[in-house]
Chains A and B, each alone.
Chain A
Amino acid sequence: MTGGIKAISYMLMLLGVFFSLASAIGIVRFPDVYTRLHAGTKALTGGALFILAGDRKSVV
């Protein structure tokens, strides 16, 4: 039971890290201010929500 919750937490946190890395790469690679704003705001907030959803005290 605890192992399943830990696995789900790590999957959520890794998904959030993936979104964060994709957002950072988009900030570097996109050509315009507005597209960089699009990459750095919405995708990164979604990734932060995934990481915050995966945070449990029983993980570490």
Chain B
Amino acid sequence: MISIKHLSKTFHNPDGSIVTVLKDVNCDIDKGEVISIIGPSGTGKSTLLRALNMLEPPTSGQILVDGEDITAKGYRLDVLRRRMGMVFQSFNLFEHMTVIENIIYAPIRLLGLSEADARAEAMTLLRKVGMSQKADVYPSSLSGGQKQRVAIARSLAMHPEVILFDEPTSALDPTMVGEVLSVIRQLASEGLTMLIVTHEMRFARDVSTRIFFMYDGIIYEDGSPGQIFEHPVHSVTKSFVNRIQKLVFEISDDEFDLLEMHSEMNRFCIKYNIAEKAAEAIPVADDMIQNHMASFRPLTFRLTYTELTGETALDFMVEGLTESPFAGGNVPIAVSARTKDIIQEPTARGFRIKILL
């Protein structure tokens, strides 16, 4: 359906510097595929997506859609874009129109629908994304998640063959990511062809039929979710998909500010969309620092989160210690009762207790 050949994109910045974002991208995309494009920031994920509907015309290379080169001069891009919807990071709803006007604007003018038909269909779509009650309000009164759901409905109203999602949840408050992802999940299950640039690893793994890992301006690794997340070929891919987010505290004496630690832990959990874990982690951390390990100073405490597996852990480390701080190596009941698993192990520098939530 779509075939990309030797695509490259170079930006000339106003300050005179030249940045090559895409070096040599090649791939074929078939109907019905749901492809997530992942990778570190600045590796050209969004640029590739925006090149596909020519919002960002490439510097060189070809994009063939059903055999036709869309980068050719004189190609009717407006006609192409009707078949290729796009959902933006910043929603881009038309601020001067109500929700329903946003949705019917293009179908009436481009597909020749009557106003009544367009409205009826728009209501069906709004129901599908759970926004039918907000049909007559202006976008400014909607939350980010609601705006993005309307934007998805607007794009669906043109009956596109492909939808391009450009970081659809990156601008959202973490509490609203779920509602948008579940709408996209539903679309994926209906067999729509989709390309999704995302940072949500678990979502990408669950929803996609195929993953592009982009690195250094090319598709560095291309494969099924199982292949990319479980058995990546390249070490760069492996370290990216398994990356661990950490929050570190050094507790040197009893003057340590526990309240400040609480709020930092809360922020961390919200940032990685595991807000519910904060309520579990904070009492355990307090209990360990104030009671069970009160005599061990300095103490290093880390809160860790592995994005792909969703594993959250509390990690306590005492330098120079060689054996368990607990009597007979038995973890106090107060802690073990509240946690999934506890690993105690000596390391090169000291002794470590890892508590999995």
The reply to whether chain A is a binding partner of chain B is no
What residues of chain B have their CB less than 8 Å away from a CB belonging to chain A? none
Measured CB to CB, the residues of A under 8 A from B are none
